[in-house]
Structure 1
Amino acid sequence: MGPSADVVILTALPVEFQAVLALLHDRSTLVHPEGTRCVAGTLPGASGTIAVARIGAGNLGAAALSERVRQWLNPQALLFVGVAGGLKPSVALGDVIVPTKVHHLHPGKEAPGGFRARPAPGAVSHRLEQAAGTALCTETWHTWVPDDVRETWKGAGPRVHFEPVIAGEVVLNSSDTPLRTQIMSNYEDSLAIEMESAGVARAAALSEGLQILTLRGISDHADPDKRSDDASGSQHRASAHAAAAAAALICELLPDTDGRADSRSSRAIGPATDTDKPSSTDTEWVNALMAFGDMSKADFRQALLSDMGQVLGLPHAFMAAELPMARDHVREIVRRMNDYRDPLAAHMAVYTALEFARPDDAALERLGRLVP
């Protein structure tokens, strides 16, 4: 029997992929014969297997890979989680949109009198949309948002909107263009614009029983401020909000009735990133690892995880979600070592990998004192 997953989550951008990956425990990598990769894992508070893939931007790729993962992993539900540009003042940066329908932007006819749209709305799963309505009707889903993101909130936190969206092969960063006018004329009910949901909806329409839903965090307002919004970290925050909403939805769909939620977590549900203060031992490990000068470099940390995987005999790198700040990533590495099925082996693996990579670094002696 081949691999399977109860829920598959597709993402377009690395920041979206990382936001979902940070929520999963017990991760492993699945590889399709044609090269498509998913990271599979578990979600505290939910039963079954969750798999997440990064597939790049665009409706065409989203349609093709939705069908691929349907045949490959046979999920009960397929979610697309990511960011979008808001089209109306009623939606704030960081808010989450659950589409009630998806308009495909480009179908139409260019006539002497101008462009005439030929709307091709994509349907979302009624079952998933209703489950999302239940899971997100209160602010309890906020507990899935990492603390570093919640600390940026200036008010009550993000809201959830159940409204149509529009999907096309274009990045819109102007409030005064013919395309903007066309959108507001033909698809006035759309609350946001993005680039993949039309493809996912089309794949669902052609598949027997594929249940799909999109969850999007608003990272900009599709206007000239998009670049500055992105530079402020808005995509990171919006991705974290969308991933948190997806996690709450999955727990609604696949409740862990057997009480198998990860007992190491301080909450019944919540992100894999610990919100409790690290123990003094964990802090010592983080400080000892950060003492290596190259640890501030993302490529060095990724090479370290690859070497740890080899030391442990894994078919992939040791899994620890990449985070924007070096110390946060190192803290995540330490947490994953503690959660590994053999924590002592994981601690020895990081020491062995650094002993090989930096044998003359004075920080190695400090790290060696922490190894049991």
Structure 2
Amino acid sequence: MRQQPFGKARRVGVIVPLGEEFEYVRAVLPPAPGQLVDGEQYHGFRLPQSGVSGFVRVLSDMGQAPAALTADRMINRLGVSLVVLIGTGAGLDGAVRLGDVVVADQIQEHLRQAKVVPGAGAPLAVERAGESWRTDARLIDHVRNFGWLPAGAAELTRWRQRAAARRPGSGPAGPAEPQVHVGALATGDVVVAAGAFARWIRQGNRKLVALDMEAGGAALAAHRNAGADLLVIRGISDHADEQKATWDAGRGPGGARNAWRHYAVHNAAEYLVVLLSSSGFPWREGAAPGGAAAVRGAPSPWLPVTLGLAGEHVLHADHAHPHPDHAYPDHAQADHPDHAHADPEHADGAEAEHADDDQHLHDVLDDW
């Protein structure tokens, strides 16, 4: 089997929640033609100035579950050592303006395990619980200090100048050049377009600077797979308030629609390229596909197996994604009585099929 030098070349898996956002990202990261890997479409890319390469995957839907499944697949099947989640976000801090970029140093799933109870003077009240993850300290240290390095300062200046030239003409007053904010990101499966709810979210943590819908899922996958890091970069396109629809419908030069969303995602994607191309970026070495991080015949470390209804075969989570609305069983293949003793001939055939799958994966990656 040919070996793909994943440790040095293909390191990054980029998750883009929406097809609209992918149109903006692909203008910055020109992708190779899409290729199917285990029935899912991925787009390869390479940054010519640095040699960094990787894959882009557009989610099937917004939310935590699709992001978690895709991040887990990228780590365990494609062997990436860095997962990047990129797209639009909503600003929660008054200092965060449209077009600014937020890099999450902490991810807080604000509605996780919340409890709805009768309210005092109101029909309902929500008791918070939540779950939090921190971005690897090496990544955040590099982001925070990058602008103070001579080369970093020059790159960020050029990035701001390019962004200012693209800024939509109609919009809020303020400096034309975007800023980078490093701070806590709220995440949850709710589209927020009400200022009162946005303020309620921030009451739980005054350091929250932005809001999205996918970071918690990607963070859980990275947390369960110690060989990979997660970097969440969001371009701010609204403030999760009553003006969201206005900014979403904003038009740019020539009457182009979604001007602020386009501007925000383009800024975030260009900032990502600047970071990944920088010297001293703290890469973590990952494992090649089919290696230790993707052991065939064993489920992903955090996604349990799904059993066939007839009990005649097992479909592992690293082969196909269960629908996010389906419950996951809490037992593993080895605990099921129907699978206590495998047929050796069947096992040999399965191993040959898995080897063919791995060869196909390597062939696809070589094509990129």
Asked if these proteins are the same fold (TM beyond 0.5), I'd say: yes
Alignment of 1:293-332 (within 5 A): none
Counterpart of 1:167, as a letter, is: T
Counterpart of 1:13, as a letter, is: L
Is 1:152 equivalent to 2:170 in the alignment?
Answer: no
Query: What is the TM-score normalised by the length of structure 1?
Result: 0.62
1:112 offset after TM fit, Å? 4.0
1:182–1:145: structure 2 CA closer, same or farther, 3 Å change rule? Answer: closer
The answer to whether the Cα contact below 8 Å between 2:107 and 2:215 also exists between their aligned partners in 1 is yes
CA–CA separation in structure 2 for the residues paired with 1:70 and 1:39: 16
DSSP-derived class of the 2:208 partner: coil
1:62 offset after TM fit, Å? 0.3
2:274 to 245, 248, 251: 248
DSSP-derived class of the 2:115 partner: strand
1:110 to 116, 127, 149: 116
1:206 to 208, 224, 227: 224
| Paired position in structure 1 for 2:256 | none
1:129 to 140, 158, 170: 140
CA–CA separation in structure 1 for the residues paired with 2:275 and 2:106: 18
CA–CA separation in structure 2 for the residues paired with 1:157 and 1:148: 6
1:140 offset after TM fit, Å? 2.1
DSSP-derived class of the 2:270 partner: helix
CA–CA separation in structure 1 for the residues paired with 2:280 and 2:143: 12
CA–CA separation in structure 2 for the residues paired with 1:87 and 1:93: 11
DSSP-derived class of the 1:6 partner: strand
* Bigger fraction of residues in helix: 1
Task: Calculate the aligned-residue CA RMSD, in Å.
Answer: 2.5
1:71 offset after TM fit, Å? 1.6
| Paired position in structure 2 for 1:90 | 95
CA–CA separation in structure 2 for the residues paired with 1:135 and 1:13: 29
1:25 offset after TM fit, Å? 5.0
2:155 to 140, 150, 158: 140
| Paired position in structure 2 for 1:46 | 50
Gapped runs of 5+ residues in structure 2?
A: 120-124, 169-173, 251-258, 282-368
Is 1:77 equivalent to 2:97 in the alignment?
Answer: no
DSSP-derived class of the 1:121 partner: strand
CA–CA separation in structure 2 for the residues paired with 1:83 and 1:60: 18
1:123 offset after TM fit, Å? 1.8
CA–CA separation in structure 2 for the residues paired with 1:155 and 1:146: 12
Cα deviation 1:200-238 (Å, max 9, x = unaligned): 111111112211110111000111111110111110000
1:238–1:139: structure 2 CA closer, same or farther, 3 Å change rule? Answer: farther
* Bigger mean CA offset, 226-235 vs 119-128: 119-128
Alignment of 1:192-203 (within 5 A): 192-203=210-221
Cα deviation 1:16-37 (Å, max 9, x = unaligned): 222322223572433211x222
The answer to whether the Cα contact below 8 Å between 2:161 and 2:177 also exists between their aligned partners in 1 is no
Counterpart of 1:109, as a letter, is: K
Cα deviation 1:26-59 (Å, max 9, x = unaligned): 72433211x2222112113212312211113111
2:183 to 142, 151, 163: 163
Counterpart of 2:278, as a letter, is: E
Alignment of 1:206-225 (within 5 A): 206-225=224-243
Give the ranges of 4+ consecutive aligned residues of structure 1 lying more than 6 Å apart after TM superposition.
none
| Paired position in structure 1 for 2:319 | none
The answer to whether the Cα contact below 8 Å between 2:87 and 2:265 also exists between their aligned partners in 1 is yes
| Paired position in structure 1 for 2:35 | 30
The answer to whether the Cα contact below 8 Å between 1:9 and 1:50 also exists between their aligned partners in 2 is yes
The answer to whether the Cα contact below 8 Å between 1:136 and 1:249 also exists between their aligned partners in 2 is no
The answer to whether the Cα contact below 8 Å between 1:8 and 1:77 also exists between their aligned partners in 2 is yes
1:66 offset after TM fit, Å? 0.3
1:188 offset after TM fit, Å? 2.5
Aligned residues: 252
DSSP-derived class of the 2:48 partner: coil
Q: Give me the identity figure in percent.
A: 25
The answer to whether the Cα contact below 8 Å between 1:136 and 1:160 also exists between their aligned partners in 2 is no
CA–CA separation in structure 1 for the residues paired with 2:139 and 2:201: 27
* Bigger mean CA offset, 183-192 vs 134-143: 134-143
Counterpart of 1:93, as a letter, is: L
1:161 offset after TM fit, Å? 0.5
The answer to whether the Cα contact below 8 Å between 2:164 and 2:178 also exists between their aligned partners in 1 is no
Cα deviation 1:118-174 (Å, max 9, x = unaligned): 131122122222222244553623645795872326744100011101000011111
CA–CA separation in structure 2 for the residues paired with 1:29 and 1:151: 28
1:78 offset after TM fit, Å? 0.9
CA–CA separation in structure 1 for the residues paired with 2:53 and 2:226: 21
Query: What is the TM-score normalised by the length of structure 2?
Result: 0.63
Cα deviation 1:231-261 (Å, max 9, x = unaligned): 1111000000110111111112688xxxxxx
1:96 offset after TM fit, Å? 0.5
The answer to whether the Cα contact below 8 Å between 1:41 and 1:50 also exists between their aligned partners in 2 is yes
DSSP-derived class of the 1:73 partner: coil
